């Protein structure tokens, strides 16, 4: 088994770039996951190419051992576990009946949280429209490995409408969510940017825009929370 101990090693330098830099991830088609749970999920999803560990770990074919200081140089988690995995971005084509369309979500924690909730509430397909990178380390961490069970595709709202999807937008003055009791079979839920919400054009293309009931003095909810409340309602409070 290979052991790497120099911080000038080209492989280590490359890992740091892939970890830190979206452009490097796009060009190489690679990304990095941290910790045993994520490495295990990447393995099950057939995207794991190589693992880097502090000591020998059973069960991985392609494995290198690296020094603790190099591990710390690659990842910025506060309490990094002794394993990272280099992965190849998966190619996904499945298009499910419940699609989450994320319009310019910028916070990696919010994106990760929405991926986690999407899986819990049976939205198995996500479209990312100018969002933060799916493979950003913070996104991966807050998704808790659920991204490997979601199909990420590219598709316009126009195409989805042609394919028979019913489009729910979200706005501050739409139809009250709690009054929605029926849900079409094929739906798209659009969530918008943290500061500005769903873009005007998309709101106009929607069939119905939804609003979550809240205290009159409150302006808005965190987008991860709002999206999760709506997905939960459509999954379990509707027919």
Q: In the complex, which residues of this chain contact its own copies (CB under 8 A)?
A: 109, 113, 116-117, 119-122, 142, 144, 146, 149, 178, 212-215, 217-222, 224-225, 228-229, 232, 235-237
Nearer to its own copies, 86 or 140 (CB): 140
Q: Please, is 16 exposed, middle or buried when counting C-beta atoms within 10 Å of its C-beta (0-12, 13-18, 19+)?
A: middle
Nearer to its own copies, 203 or 226 (CB): 226
Q: In whole angstroms, how close is the CB of 126 to its own copies at the nearest point?
A: 15
**Closest to 75 (Cα-Cα) out of 128, 24, 35:** 35
Distance CA 46, CA 79 (A): 26
Q: In whole angstroms, how close is the CB of 184 to its own copies at the nearest point?
A: 20
Q: In whole angstroms, how close is the CB of 238 to its own copies at the nearest point?
A: 11
The number of helices, as runs of H, and strands, as runs of E, in the chain is 9, 11
Distance CA 155, CA 141 (A): 26
Q: In whole angstroms, how close is the CB of 78 to its own copies at the nearest point?
A: 11
Q: In whole angstroms, how close is the CB of 165 to its own copies at the nearest point?
A: 21
Nearer to its own copies, 12 or 39 (CB): 39
Distance CA 59, CA 139 (A): 27
Cβ neighbours for 14, distance < 8 A, ≥ 6 positions apart:
28
Q: In whole angstroms, how close is the CB of 61 to its own copies at the nearest point?
A: 27
In order, the DSSP letters of 42-69 are: HHHTT-EEEEEESS--TT-SSEEEE-HH
Are the beta carbons of 48 and 32 closer than 8 angstroms?
no
Nearer to its own copies, 91 or 215 (CB): 215
Nearer to its own copies, 37 or 62 (CB): 37
Nearer to its own copies, 60 or 123 (CB): 123
């Amino acid at each position: 088994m290979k052991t790497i101990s120099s911080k000038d090693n080209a492989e280590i330098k490359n890992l740091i770039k892939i970890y830190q830099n979206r452009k490097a991830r796009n060009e190489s088609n690679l990304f990095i996951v941290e910790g045993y749970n994520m490495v295990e999920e990447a393995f099950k999803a057939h995207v794991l190419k190589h693992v880097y560990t502090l000591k020998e770990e059973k069960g991985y074919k392609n494995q290198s051992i690296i020094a603790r200081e190099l591990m710390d140089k690659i990842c910025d988690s506060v309490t990094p576990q002794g394993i990272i995995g280099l992965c190849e971005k998966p190619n996904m084509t499945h298009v499910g009946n419940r699609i989450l369309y994320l319009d310019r979500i910028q916070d990696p924690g919010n994106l990760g949280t929405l991926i986690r909730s999407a899986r819990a509430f049976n939205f198995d397909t996500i479209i990312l429209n100018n969002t933060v990178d799916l493979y950003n380390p913070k996104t991966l961490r807050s998704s808790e490995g659920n991204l490997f069970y979601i199909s990420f595709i590219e598709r316009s709202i126009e195409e989805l409408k042609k394919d028979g999807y019913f489009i729910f937008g979200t706005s501050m003055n739409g139809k009250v969510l709690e009054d929605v009791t029926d849900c079409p079979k094929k739906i798209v839920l659009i969530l918008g940017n943290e500061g500005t919400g769903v873009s005007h054009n998309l709101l106009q293309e929607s069939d119905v825009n939804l609003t979550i009931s809240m205290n009159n003095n409150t302006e808005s909810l965190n987008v991860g929370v709002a999206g999760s409340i709506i997905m939960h309602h459509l999954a379990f409070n509707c027919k």
